[in-house]
Structure 1
Amino acid sequence: AEHALQCGYCTPGMLMTARDIVTRLPNADDARVRLELSGNLCRCTGYVGIVRAIRRVLDARRARAAVPLAADAATA
């Protein structure tokens, strides 16, 4: 959706790093995401789409966490 990956050269490292960011740094901003990705070389994208994709996942996870589950609402 964000055109994060193109040639595949960096895909394995980017996916591993993205998962680490999402699980370890749920409140990461763009600057922190870029810092965390700085050890991976991407020859195609310039990192813009990759950062957007990671932020999209982080934002979606935060939005889901903010919505109470139906079971929680029933017990409240």
Structure 2
Amino acid sequence: MKGKNALEMCARAEYGEMRGKNAFEMCAEAGYGEMKGKNALEMCAGAGYGEMKGKNAFEMCAGAGYGGMRGKNAFEMCARAE
């Protein structure tokens, strides 16, 4: 996924039936309990990931503590993800 942007990364992700979906479709169809059916921004905003709860997609990614990804925005984070 390294070098891919957020949409490409999600579109190519091998999450079973999510493969080939773009970022918004993938998030909207993801079966994460109450997140199912939410779009990308709603899903991130409503996700119960500790301090990320209530953050929007960009804030969530920017604040996520994924090692070197911390402080990166959504596109940078996805583009640099291995």
Q: TM-score range by the shorter chain?
A: under 0.3
Which one has a larger percent helix, Structure 1 or Structure 2? 1
Determine which structure has more spread, i.e. the larger CA radius of gyration. 1
Return the structure number with greater relative CO, CA threshold 8 A, min gap 6.
1
